[in-house]
Chain A
């Protein structure tokens, strides 16, 4: 009972942030809370330095990969609310990413004004709403799409829900693909280019900049921008998880009938989960559009939905650190394979037998099967500490006496 309660959880966290992990393990005199903060500090330090390390050893290409890893983490955190917390299997999640990306593309590129003369008159300089405004709009718009998907599926569970959401994802993509006729709104499969970059206090993030003698590449600046957004999403997720709403989500996941009997308005609470998840998806999409400066329906295929779902499931459904780890592992794994698959084959057999892309999907599937067999609740599931001493937040109150 005297065992410090936080130690086991901190130990695993410290292992992830290896720099501080060693320090924490070597100083048993530290209070558990301090160890926790040390682990967090180590993690933050690594997260802050990562793009510099990547740039030094791998060049800009690897910084871009880090950017995408963060984007996928943000997407996965959004999906985690729907799938992990509320237990609603959503196979069309990428549609919200598409909504955000296309919103950015339409409102911050010359596309619409070149297509519609009336708009060109209204905005002679072209539609350039800019990243920050679109970011503000994208949240509510994506949430609306989330409710649009959620409303007809409220009574569906499991497989049936999965099929409808899958259909929804495809509908959005097919719309984007075909809305170039009779009036050209989305420019169809050709996509929309020349999307405005993020401009932060007059600093154009798509151009190399210099700060105090340090050269900052676009990838590096976007990394920190997305990092800030990811941290925001993590904080919101954590707070929601430990709230009345978060508990209601998990209650619905565990037993919807019992949740109703406890007075939870399951319809509203489920719609809220869809809306919240969609908001994060939409925001990720806006960043994606600005970062790539180009969007096309090809980026929002079913495979992408499944990829994001795999991050959530592999990492640890409903456990935020697990989802983050899942994102890092899957994106990292994919890139390592892309880099290594062909050279290694050449080295071993003298020629390339399996295309890197094919091998990637093969191993990806294999990894999924192995993890599901041996760690069905993910690589880093939520810790269970039943030996935790029962501590009270306040002293005893007697609100129980005296009936209703």
Chain B
């Protein structure tokens, strides 16, 4: 039995009178694509924000890669090994695609201000490595030829890919994608699926939050369905798909 990459147990989060998450838990094994779905307002984004340190949960435990994980500041999350993308793409618009990915290396490099000013040999080496890896990642997600394009001038699909490349640059243990297919057309979705498949094959673990049930069903190894802040189903996609509670949550109760 392999150790879990991320184990989350008994997460509770309350906003005033609203219990946004109650006793939510999930286990992600390494190398999986894990889907998190649910209707609007189910608590997906709240859960995502808890995992990525934006919200502090009222209670609950996290274990990331065998170590307890308690994000207290957003910037520590990437360091701990969780990189995220955003539902509404948030690139560094005025930087080139290459520079965007290079920023992703920030957390795994260490040149300080004095080293940068004196341009020591180790800084030069580090810079060359950063640039090289950024090129690699752009090629990896299939936009290598746009390295010098300003990020905001890239097409929508390419911006999504760039965001994934930037997240991969932090060498994450877990890549958390917040609705990566939002706003994509059918072709772009097929391409995205192929890319995520490739990322999984290279041994990375993905947490996928998605509206598009079709994409999730075809791609995920395991999944969790949330509704009103509670886990209503968990397991293999085909089991979840036929779960009456899930059908009810998505389609409503049948008329009598």
Interface residues of A (CB under 8 A from B): 236, 239-240, 242-248, 250-251, 253-255, 257-266, 272, 276, 384-386, 388, 390, 392-394, 396-397, 399-404
Contact = CB atoms under 8 A, between A and B. Distances in A.
B116 A247 contact: no
B116 A255 contact: no
Nearest to A385: B148
B209 to A, nearest CB: 15
Interface residues of B, number: 65
The 4 closest A-B pairs by CB, nearest first: A263-B78, A263-B107, A403-B203, A243-B116
A388 B149 CA distance: 9
Interface in B128-145: 128, 130-133, 135-137, 140, 144-145
A261 B84 contact: yes
Interface in B101-133: 102-107, 109-113, 116-117, 119, 123, 126-128, 130-133
Interface of B: 30-31, 52, 65, 73-79, 81, 83-84, 86, 90-95, 99, 102-107, 109-113, 116-117, 119, 123, 126-128, 130-133, 135-137, 140, 144-145, 147-150, 153, 166, 168, 170-173, 202-205
Given A242-B127, A245-B113, A254-B92, 11 more contacts: A245-B111, A245-B112, A253-B94, A260-B74, A261-B75, A264-B107, A265-B75, A276-B113, A394-B132, A397-B132, A403-B202
B104 A399 contact: no
A243 B65 CA distance: 31
Nearest to A243: B116
A255 B90 contact: yes
Nearest to B166: A262
A386 B148 contact: yes
A392 B132 contact: yes
Contacts of A250: 92, 94-95, 99
Contacts of A400: 133, 136-137, 140, 168, 202
Contacts of A397: 132-133, 136
Contact of A264 (B106, B145, B173, B205): B106
Contacts of A384: 150
Contacts of A248: 103, 106
B117 A260 contact: no
A77 B206 CA distance: 43
A404 B117 contact: no
14 contacts: A239-B116, A245-B111, A245-B116, A250-B94, A254-B92, A255-B90, A261-B86, A261-B90, A262-B106, A263-B75, A390-B135, A393-B128, A396-B136, A404-B65
Contacts of B135: 390, 392
A276 B130 CA distance: 24
Contacts of B83: 261-262
Nearest to B98: A390
B84 A254 contact: no
A400 B140 CA distance: 9
Contacts of A240: 113, 116-117
A199 B109 CA distance: 43
Given A245-B113, A263-B79, A263-B107, A402 B136 contact: no
Nearest to A236: B117
A261 B130 contact: no
B114 to A, nearest CB: 10
A217 B205 CA distance: 70
A257 B117 CA distance: 27
